[in-house]
Amino acid sequence: MTMRLGMRRFTRLTNGFSKRAENHEFAIALHYFHYNFIRKHQTIRTTPAVMSGVTDKVWTMVTSLR
């Protein structure tokens, strides 16, 4: 899946389209973070960040409040 199909902010005909460049940059950063640190890929069965040695664990979207 291409980034354009995966993120609705790139398609102008939706409500999620970023009108401000700053918001668009933030959305792209979140997309790349999710893709590299959270999403387990089917072929390597882990995240690209773990595979390349950037981190030693798969991250989650859940944060601890403690």
Write the DSSP string, 39-64: PPPTTTSS-HHHHHTS-SS---S---
Q: Which residues lie closer than 8 Å to 15 by C-beta, 6 or more apart?
A: none
CA–CA distance from 36 to each of 12, 17, 55 (Å)? 25, 23, 10
Q: Where are the domains of the chain?
A: 3-52
- Supply the pLDDT for residue 1: 47
Confidence of residue 53 (pLDDT cuts 50, 70, 90): very high
Position 3: which residue type?
Answer: M
- Supply the pLDDT for residue 3: 57
pLDDT digit string, tens, across residues 26-48: 888 888 888 899 988 888 999 99
pLDDT of residue 54 exceeding 70: yes
Check: pTM over 0.75? Answer yes or no: no
